[in-house]
Structure 1
Amino acid sequence: MTDIVENQPPRHGYRGEPAAPTPSLTRPHGLTLAVSREVGSRGGSIARRVAERLGWQLFDQEALDFLTRDSVAREELHAELPAGAKEWAEFQLARLISKNVIAQGADAIDTVGLMLALAARGETIIVGRGAGFVLPAKTTLHVRVVAPIQQRTAYMADLLRLSPTDAAAEVAGREQRRREYLSHFVTPTTEATAFDMVLNSARLGVEACATLIEHAVCDRHAGETARESPDAA
Structure 2
Amino acid sequence: MFSSERLTEALTRVHQHWNARRELPRNEDEEAVKFTIAISRETGTYGAAIARAVGDRLGWPVYDRELLQRIADDIGVHRALLDSVDEQQESWLKECITSLFAVHAVSQTVYFRRLVEALLSLSKHGDCVIVGRGATRALPLATTLRVRLVARLEHRIQAVQREHATSREEAAAQVEKKDRERNRFVASHFHIDPADPANYDLVLNTERLSTTECADLILATLECLRQNAKARLPALVPA
> What is the identity, as a one-letter code, of the residue corresponding to 2:142?
K
1:72 matched to 2:76? The reply is yes
2:218 alignment counterpart: 213
Query: In the TM superposition, what are the counterparts of 1:48-63 in structure 2 within 5 Å?
Result: 48-63=52-67
Distance in 2 between residues matched to 1:73 and 1:156, nearest whole Å: 32
Secondary structure of 1:68's counterpart equals helix
Runs of 4+ residues over 6 Å off in structure 1: none
Shift of residue 82, structure 1, vs aligned partner = 4.3
Q: TM-score under structure 1 normalisation? A: 0.81
Q: Out of 184, 187, 206, which is 2:189 matched to?
A: 184
Query: In the TM superposition, what are the counterparts of 1:94-133 in structure 2 within 5 Å?
Result: 94-133=98-137
CA separation of 1:112/1:216 partners in 2, compared to 1, >3 Å: closer, same or farther? same
Instruction: Note the aligned Cα RMSD (angstroms).
Output: 1.9
Which has more radius of gyration? 1
Aligned 8 A contact 1:41 1:145 in 2: yes
CA separation of 1:168/1:189 partners in 2, compared to 1, >3 Å: closer, same or farther? same
Aligned 8 A contact 1:33 1:140 in 2: yes
1:146 alignment counterpart: 150
Q: Which moved more, 1:150-159 or 1:199-208?
A: 150-159
1:158 alignment counterpart: 162
Secondary structure of 1:81's counterpart equals coil
Q: Out of 194, 199, 205, which is 2:199 matched to?
A: 194
1:90 alignment counterpart: 94
Shift of residue 81, structure 1, vs aligned partner = 2.1
1:204 alignment counterpart: 209
Q: Gapped runs of 5+ residues in structure 1?
A: 1-27
Q: Out of 33, 38, 49, which is 1:34 matched to?
A: 38
Over residues 95-136 of structure 1, what are the superposed CA-to-partner deviations in whole Å (9 max), with x where a residue is unaligned? 112224311111111111111111111112110111111212
Q: TM-score under structure 2 normalisation? A: 0.79
Distance in 2 between residues matched to 1:31 and 1:113, nearest whole Å: 17
Secondary structure of 1:35's counterpart equals strand
Shift of residue 75, structure 1, vs aligned partner = 2.4
